Amino acid sequence: MSLVEMIQQKSFLGSEFVTWLWYKSEGRDRTIDLGDGRKCEVLFEKDLVLTGEWGETLAGTFRGDAPTLSPEAAAALAAGKKVKRARMTFSVGEATYTLTLNAESFDWSGLKIETPPSISFDEAVPLRLAALDQFHDVFERLFSIFLDLRLDPDRWAKELKAVRKWVTEKNEGEE
């Protein structure tokens, strides 16, 4: 099996990961413990694309300040559509990072990193590179937490049951 075929076989993990982040973002605590003393809050904003099993013809695009809160997005999720792309903000302490994530390929686009205002280019570059490195660590930790959960059959069965309950409740709340 080629590397490309192996990647394509596992592409469902990206959609499951983003759906899990969505679930966690609407949970009781709304934060994810990164295991190093920090907590991460994930907010979905402005752009959310869900697709059906058979591609773009069954895609739903939801735009607005809180697309995950729309009844239509909840209905699409309940109908079995999978997250393909989402615009998200990750907050860890005082730092915030906003990006669009393609769930199938894990491509990031439009990453916004905060830097102090009124600083020179020479001062901004190392700060932005450090912030990029910090976000990479956060993202890697989040995905590692998800994979540890996903690869443990007992823990995943419990989490999947909670996610399914959440999807049902999202739809019942919209009727």
Identify the segments of the chain with pLDDT beneath 70: 1-11, 54-59, 173-175
Given the DSSP bridges, would you call strands 55-64 and 107-113 parallel, antiparallel or unpaired?
A: unpaired
Please tell me the predicted confidence (pLDDT) of residue 56: 52
Distance CA 65, CA 76 (A): 18
Please tell me the predicted confidence (pLDDT) of residue 173: 65
Q: 145-174 burial, b for 16+ CB within 10 Å, e for fewer?
A: bbeeebeeeeebeebeeebeebbeebeeee
What pTM value is reported for the model? 0.86
Please tell me the predicted confidence (pLDDT) of residue 58: 66
Please tell me the predicted confidence (pLDDT) of residue 15: 87
